[in-house]
Structure 1
């Protein structure tokens, strides 16, 4: 995502994936649900904007 480095926080998404896959210190389901409800829609909109510019 070098073209849009400030738009989508790939490092944070990768970190979340690592925690879910490897169960580092347990999974906080409240945090997961918060991401699902509040962050994913924003990321989806950002991806749509990026793709519409190409």
Structure 2
């Protein structure tokens, strides 16, 4: 395994941990009404997507329980459609997708440390 793959997985882990904590401590209304929060969370999603893109294909194929392509696609959506982002879509990702991703990334890191 290339060492930089692990670095990117740690970047993903750190970003999703921050997003996950935000989702557990804030409401949709907080998110909807606070542009700073939106910008910060969206930036973390961009980091996740960029890191997922940089992980080599062999590694992604070996760890296919994580939807690497979905992570990159969401980043691309946020970057390229930044003027039309529906914050409810981002909130859904925070509350529905991120908790599962936290578990998958933590399981992956635990398996890699064995």
Q: TM-score range by the shorter chain?
A: 0.7 to 0.9
5+ residue gaps, structure 2, are 1-59
Q: TM-score, normalised by structure 1?
A: 0.82
Which structure would you say has the larger RCO, counting Cα contacts within 8 Å and 6 or more residues apart? 2
RMSD: 1.6
Partner of 2:107: 49
- After the TM superposition, which parts of structure 1 deviate over 4 Å for at least 4 consecutive aligned residues? none
Structure 1: unaligned runs, 5 residues or longer: none
Count of residue correspondences: 53
Indicate which of 23, 33, 36 corresponds to 2:91: 33
Larger helix percent: 2
Q: How does 1:15-26 map to 2 (within 5 A)?
A: 15-23=73-81, 26=84
TM-score, structure 2 as length reference: 0.43
Matched residues in 1 for 2:111 and 2:67: separation? 19
Q: Which has the larger radius of gyration?
A: 2
Q: Deviations over 1:12-38 (max 9, x none)?
A: 111110111111672121111000111
